[in-house]
């Protein structure tokens, strides 16, 4: 089992930055591929960014490419999402996720076995 807890959400203005963190506990974090997803009101949970266990492969959704940066520190069992140039359309609950096994497609929720409870990010215009 892996327990995931997100931190760092809040209310910001358009153009501001936020850094989310996801603290993991339980089974080995360093061996798990991980990702951030987000869910806006009335919408399905959507992929934001993913990172392999080694940090060697990173994928971003087109909507955040160039503005967001995912990273991880396996020594601290923590994953991060640096969000810059925030827009109102980034408003959502942000979730971190961890995979129990290797999956080639890291952009689908079906590839992840463990989820945090989420942290709210609200961007005002």
Distance CA 42, CA 79 (A): 27
- Number of neighbouring beta carbons within 10 Å of residue 92: 22
In angstroms, how far is the first alpha carbon of the chain from the final one?
40
User: How do the pLDDT tens digits run along the chain, 125 residues long?
Assistant: 789 999 999 999 999 999 999 999 987 777 889 999 999 999 999 999 999 999 889 999 999 999 999 999 999 999 999 999 999 999 999 999 999 888 899 999 999 999 999 999 999 99
Rounded to whole angstroms, what are the CA distances from 60 to 35, 66, 103? 10, 9, 16
């Amino acid at each position: 089992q892996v327990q995931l807890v997100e931190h760092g959400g809040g209310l910001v203005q358009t153009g501001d930055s936020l850094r989310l963190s996801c603290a993991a506990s339980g089974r080995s974090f360093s061996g798990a591929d991980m990702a951030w997803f987000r869910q806006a009101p009335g919408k399905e949970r959507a992929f934001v960014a993913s990172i392999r266990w080694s940090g060697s492969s990173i994928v971003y959704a087109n909507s955040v490419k160039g503005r967001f940066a995912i990273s991880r520190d396996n020594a601290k069992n923590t994953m991060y999402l640096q969000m810059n140039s925030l827009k109102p359309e980034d408003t959502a609950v942000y979730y971190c996720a961890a995979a129990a096994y290797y999956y080639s497609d890291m952009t689908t929720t079906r590839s992840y076995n463990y989820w945090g409870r989420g942290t709210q990010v609200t961007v005002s215009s």
